[in-house]
Structure 1
Amino acid sequence: MTPVSLTVNGTGTTASVEPRTALADFVREGLNLTGTHLGCEHGVCGACTVLVDGVPARSCITPTVACDGAEVTTIEGLDNDEIATELRAAFTREHALQCGYCTPGMLISARDLVVRLDRACEQSIRVGMSGNLCRCTGYVGIVRAIHTVIADRRARGIPAQPGAGRTALGPAGAHLSAAPAGAGEVRITKAVAATPSGPPHRAADPAGDEADFSPAAHFVQTFTVAFAPDEVFAVLGDVAAVAACLPGAALTAPPTPERIEGEMRVKIGPIAAAFRGTARISRDPATRSGRIVGGGLDARGRSSARGAIEYRVLPGPDPDSSRVEIEVGYTLSGVLAQFGRPGLVRDLAARLTADFAANLERKLSGSAPIPAATELSATRLLLQLIRARFRALFGGGGDA
């Protein structure tokens, strides 16, 4: 058992919990705050959303011990909250609830949007609420209710709060705002709260504080190409060539041997993101190894990604061939975090690695141009993966 001390709905609470106890179970069973609902218990549906230090968080996948010292607000804690009161009235007026099971999480996520968005924008509302699922309403009433509250508050002269008071990006409850400078946080500037009509957001330097980056998850991939290790290692040092081989990647500024600035476009179903950021590069020719550490922000969807890639080029199984080992560590936050479960990411990474290896061989051989890819479609990669597994199971043979 681990002792924890946190503030829940303004009341200090001390308890001893098992390290695996989810925050949702703690508030429901330990504090009898059953307004926090459990749906998928995988961090996808959003029914369990609460505020941790003012930031919406999936309580079903947030360990209680990670919230030691944090302020937690459940739906019960918003009984007398001005914004929540206006949202409840708008939800009723716009018929934005039916069975009501998803409504507590919807209200908490909606409150965050009302605080942050400069103006009522349907697209921004739909993106911001895309992590909260409802099987009853069709979302039209929900979007309309949030839209009316934002529009009404701005018309009354109540301004948006850039970042809703956040001082740093990071996992809810990680207390990054209180961390010493340079401790791995990604600082937020006012530009994070810009609406889609404003100028594109650019992170000041997401790679600048990555020296001690500790990823939330990681995976390892390997592939083989029919070229000598020295040739492969040389191409991997050509940043422009690597970006051309990676679906969805593009450089946004001339690279240097130690630093790159670029963009990665990702599309998962209806959710699209363009992560813009920087990364630092280090290479060791003696061991044919390298490391790339960086991060990026998606200005429209408010998602962030941080990652570290380490690679080694080793002799392959055949003469003049190479085996490339890649280890990736990553942390996702924001809308796309719901798709960041390790199993799903590993499956997508396997297909992405295969595409990258094929493009790399084209580059090395110079026999065919690398096909252009304006964005990385996770849906397309998943369909390819499913077809490949289907063929393997039923004897179709071949790659997808």
Structure 2
Amino acid sequence: MNATQGPTMPLSLNVNGLAVAAEIEPRRHLADFLRENLNLTGTHLGCEHGVCGACTLLVDGEPVRSCITFAGACSGADVTTIEGLDNDEIAIELRAAFNREHALQCGFCTPGMLVSARDLVLRLREPDERRIRLGLSGNLCRCTGYVGIVQAVRSVIAARRERGITAIVADPGRGLGPIGARIGSGLAAGALPPNTVKARVPAPAAKVAAAFTPTDSFEQTFTIGRPPAEVFAAFGRIREIADCIPGALVDGEPTPDRVEGGIRVRFGPISPVFRGVALVERDEENFTGRILGTGADAGERSTMQGEIRYRVVPGEEPGTARVELAVGYALKGALAQFGRPSLVRNLAGRIIAEFSRNLEDRLMGRSTGGAPKQINLPRLVFNSLSEGVRSWIKRLLAFSD
């Protein structure tokens, strides 16, 4: 060991399908290892702070910022650089589309941009421009203005969906730990078949919510003009329920006990999406259920955790059902400013009232436009505050009399 080198550690991983073994310093980043030790210079270094996205590559099929990823954390992983995508079907289509749509100029950002674009082609069900722009927001380009890049990605997604190639479904079996780490997972290097892609999956809801303690809770009921059995059965159809909830969306294909999705909320001109995962439990005999979930906005500036217990019982009128809800929640980050218990109850009451109307319309076969695509939070807050003021004035007038 020379005087300038610190302690080393063994590293063993697969790079572009080839087994690689080396001794490295624990502090060595993956991008530096690939460029300097393996001469894979297609991985570009820009900001070296994980901001510009030029160094993006695939670790176990997932896009990763290699400039801030320690090489030692990827022991046993499959690493794919832009050089390893030479013969990849999607990368070939993207390169052609980038040329066709004039989606590159100096080309410095292009390797990382192609890696991120490939992930979007795999995961997005439709060529949604808003979601493509959101997905590429971590890849900065100083030249093109992004219009050609977005159009290139849209065209590839549209063409593949027209050919019957569907988006991949998130793999619920992904282990915990840093992206790309398989230490202790029981998977040997190279165990995955070529071009295997594992979608980014949040931690399983059961584990996330196991230690969940709500900061506040409330109960609410509503009545639907359909029999209890029919209403309870509808609660098991996740997509149908999501269509009735303002701002709700479902990602991929839900299973009976697990669903991934989110809520789109509007704050003036900003419309963040809080995405997460939930564990679903249902008791078919007693018409009861439980939903345990967690979510965060894209920048993880706000997080939400919650538990909903519901019970469907006969309503007061024959042929009707009463849904009893017990809701517990915890809010952290910027969203917590809306977390005062009285305000949350008012907001939840309005959302639940709209949900119940939409669900009843659907069960009755009435044609509606469905739930709004996003929750207009300022409007709900204003309406809730207005109701509070009206209630306060009524109490004041009653006191005066």
TM-score (norm 2): 0.52
* Aligned residue among 78, 93, 97 for 1:86: 93
Aligned equivalents of 1:34 and 1:99: distance in 2?
16
Give identity over the alignment, percent: 53
Number of residue equivalences: 260
Residue deviations 1:218-275 (CA, integer Å, cap 9, x gap): xxxxxxxxxxxxxxxxx955468xxxxxxxxx9x9xxxxxxxxx97777899672223
Aligned equivalents of 1:263 and 1:9: distance in 2?
34
Number of the residue aligned with 1:40: 47
Summarize the alignment of residues 168-179 of structure 1 with structure 2, pairs less than 5 Å apart. Answer: 168=174, 171-175=178-182, 178=185
Residue deviations 1:149-206 (CA, integer Å, cap 9, x gap): 111222223332223x6743864213499479xxxxxxxxxxx99xxxxxxxxx9994
Summarize the alignment of residues 49-198 of structure 1 with structure 2, pairs less than 5 Å apart. Answer: 49-163=56-170, 167-168=173-174, 171-175=178-182, 178=185
Number of the residue aligned with 2:19: 12
5+ long unaligned stretches in structure 2:
1-7, 188-198, 220-245, 249-260, 280-291, 306-329, 351-374, 379-401
Aligned equivalents of 1:11 and 1:50: distance in 2?
16
AA partner of residue 161 (structure 1): I
Number of the residue aligned with 1:335: none
Aligned equivalents of 1:297 and 1:44: distance in 2?
20
5+ long unaligned stretches in structure 1:
181-191, 194-202, 214-234, 241-249, 253-261, 280-292, 309-327, 329-347, 364-368, 378-400
Structure 1 counterpart SS, 2:12: strand
Conserved 8 A contact 1:169-1:176:
no
Change (3 A) 1:151 1:303: farther
Residue deviations 1:109-153 (CA, integer Å, cap 9, x gap): 111111222232222212221221111111110011111111122
Aligned equivalents of 2:71 and 2:179: distance in 1?
12
Change (3 A) 1:70 1:130: same
Structure 2 counterpart SS, 1:14: strand
Aligned equivalents of 2:45 and 2:83: distance in 1?
15
* Aligned residue among 200, 206, 209 for 1:208: 206
Following superposition, the deviation at residue 40 of structure 1 comes to 1.6
AA partner of residue 125 (structure 1): I
Aligned equivalents of 2:30 and 2:102: distance in 1?
30
Aligned equivalents of 1:160 and 1:302: distance in 2?
24
Number of the residue aligned with 2:258: none
Structure 2 counterpart SS, 1:5: strand
Aligned equivalents of 1:306 and 1:177: distance in 2?
29
Structure 1 counterpart SS, 2:40: coil
Aligned equivalents of 1:73 and 1:91: distance in 2?
20
Question: What is the CA RMSD across the aligned residues, in angstroms?
Answer: 4.9
Structure 2 counterpart SS, 1:208: helix
Aligned equivalents of 1:48 and 1:41: distance in 2?
8
Aligned equivalents of 1:108 and 1:23: distance in 2?
16
Structure 2 counterpart SS, 1:60: helix
Conserved 8 A contact 1:168-1:176:
no
Aligned equivalents of 1:99 and 1:79: distance in 2?
20
Structure 1 counterpart SS, 2:207: coil
